[in-house]
Amino acid sequence: MFSKLDFIKEKYEELSGKASDPEVISNQPEWQKIVKEMGELEPVVKAYGEYIKNKAALADTEEMLNMGGLADDEKEMFKEELSELKEKITAGEEALRILLLPKDPNDDKNVILEIRAGTGGDEASLFGSDLLRMYLRYAERRGWKAEMIDLNQTELGGTKEAILMIKGRGAYSRLKYESGVHRVQRVPETEASGRIHTSAATVAVMPEVEDVEVEIDPNEVRVDVFRSSGNGGQSVNTTDSAVRLTHIPTGLVVSCQDEKSQIKNKDKAFKVLRARLYDLALQEQNKEQADARRSMVGSGDRSERIRTYNFPQGRVSDHRIGLTLYKLAAFMDGDIDEVIDGLITNDRAERMKAF
């Protein structure tokens, strides 16, 4: 580990020298590339510098403690300092191991999040609306921007399908763990006998990808335009502004009717299509690495039941890390960081074992 840290430190110093070179500064694209690389290495270099400083202080303190002629209170002071430094060094080593873990290249990207009602009829659609509100509230709490791409609602106000873009630094790094089957247990409003029903909705989280990352042959995409419609099929637009894309090789279909402009709807639909094609490639890659990923959180398996929302008991349980919280109302209002933090911690621990 330390040979790698020394290499990173030397690389950072080399880049720092280049960044202050007038010739490099005059070449702005090159200078920005160097500064970006420095920014990625800086947290590791700072943490390693602090670790080296604490190791040096530990050696000095041990030397002082071993000197003769110290009074009892001085010995006690040095022993306390020694204990504090050892704790800092242990914590520093742990932090450095985490910083050296391979980073998911998609972590800083925006997110395309899809919610679909599963088993449970109208109740599943109503739960889909609850999940949609939960993620919109979470985005608001994090200071992220959420844009609706497509929304298919029922007459009761349920959500059959919702596709939204969430823009914000680190959005994918936190939301990627939400992919899977979300199960709800509660008494539906339409249930006269008061029996608890179990319904489900699926969530898919995909990173937004650029044109250069996924090339789409225009000849392989059929573009259909139609009129936007609201709840229960009510027309909300008198022009053919809604767009449906069909990717012929894969059979993927994407619709967008959120914007009044056909061009904007088409652009958004292509963003979703790129994300889905990229996600397909990732899923294929994950299958090849199934053995290595089987124990990991957030494998992205769409059929995996990841969480249960039990309304009568006011609890939410994440099955991947065995965490249960009795704060369902707050959770449904977007206060989901405690579970996400737990998932991230568990994911890091599993990756550190493999690393």
Task: Give per-residue pLDDT as tens, 150-190.
Answer: 898 888 889 999 999 999 989 999 999 999 999 999 988 76
Give yes or no: residues 127 and 232 share one domain. Answer: yes
Is residue 14 domain-resident? yes
Give yes or no: residues 116 and 85 share one domain. Answer: no
Give yes or no: residues 149 and 50 share one domain. Answer: no
Q: Is the pLDDT of residue 270 over 50?
A: yes
SS3 249: coil
Give yes or no: residues 30 and 125 share one domain. Answer: no
Q: pLDDT at position 181, please?
A: 95
Task: Give the residue from 127, 140, 142, 113 showing the smallest Cα distance to 197.
Answer: 127
In angstroms, the CA 257 to CA 53 distance is: 58
Q: Quick one: pLDDT band at residue 304, thresholds 50, 70, 90?
A: confident
CA distance to 23, 211, 300, per residue, from 285 (Å): 42, 20, 11
Greater pLDDT, 261 or 178: 178
Is residue 132 domain-resident? yes
Q: pLDDT at position 211, please?
A: 62
Q: Is the pLDDT of residue 265 over 80?
A: yes
**Residue 78 is encoded by which pair of tokens?**
């040095």
pLDDT cut 90: percent of the chain above it? 40
Number of domain units in the chain? 2
Give yes or no: residues 172 and 64 share one domain. Answer: no
CATH code of the domain in which 228 resides? 3.30.70.1660
CB 176 within 8 Å of CB 347? no
Is residue 263 domain-resident? yes
CA 82 to chain centre: 39
Task: Give the residue from 262, 190, 263 showing the smallest Cα distance to 228.
Answer: 262
Q: Is the pLDDT of residue 83 over 60?
A: yes
Q: Is the pLDDT of residue 237 over 90?
A: no
Q: Quick one: pLDDT band at residue 235, thresholds 50, 70, 90?
A: very low
In angstroms, the CA 22 to CA 18 distance is: 9
Of 100, 127, 142, the last residue of a domain is 100
Is residue 192 domain-resident? yes
In angstroms, the CA 8 to CA 51 distance is: 14
Is residue 146 domain-resident? yes
Of 76, 100, 124, the last residue of a domain is 100
The whole-number average pLDDT for the span 67-91 is: 87
Is residue 106 domain-resident? no
Mean pLDDT of the chain: 85
Of 49, 78, 100, the last residue of a domain is 100
Q: Is the pLDDT of residue 231 over 70?
A: no
What's the half-sphere exposure (Cβ side, CA atoms, 13 Å) at 71?
Answer: 3
Give yes or no: residues 87 and 167 share one domain. Answer: no
CB 162 within 8 Å of CB 272? no
Is residue 105 domain-resident? no
Q: Is the pLDDT of residue 288 over 80?
A: no
Give yes or no: residues 346 and 212 share one domain. Answer: yes
Give yes or no: residues 57 and 141 share one domain. Answer: no
**Residue 343 is encoded by which pair of tokens?**
């998932």
Q: Quick one: pLDDT band at residue 4, thresholds 50, 70, 90?
A: confident
Give yes or no: residues 119 and 92 share one domain. Answer: no
In one letter, which amino acid is 10?
Answer: E
Q: State the CB neighbour count (10 A cutoff) for residue 129.
A: 21
Q: pLDDT at position 239, please?
A: 62
Q: pLDDT at position 230, please?
A: 54
In terms of residue numbers, what domain contains 228?
111-291+300-354
In angstroms, the CA 309 to CA 144 distance is: 25
Greater pLDDT, 8 or 290: 8
Is the pTM higher than 0.75?
A: no
Give yes or no: residues 146 and 228 share one domain. Answer: yes
In angstroms, the CA 237 to CA 234 distance is: 9
Q: Is the pLDDT of residue 341 over 60?
A: yes
Judged by average pLDDT, the poorest of 63-67, 109-113, 331-335 is: 63-67
Instruction: Identify which of 98-102, 215-219, 245-249 has the greatest average pLDDT.
Output: 245-249
Give yes or no: residues 71 and 21 share one domain. Answer: yes
Give yes or no: residues 121 and 148 share one domain. Answer: yes
In angstroms, the CA 52 to CA 41 distance is: 17
Is residue 255 domain-resident? yes
Q: Is the pLDDT of residue 127 over 70?
A: yes
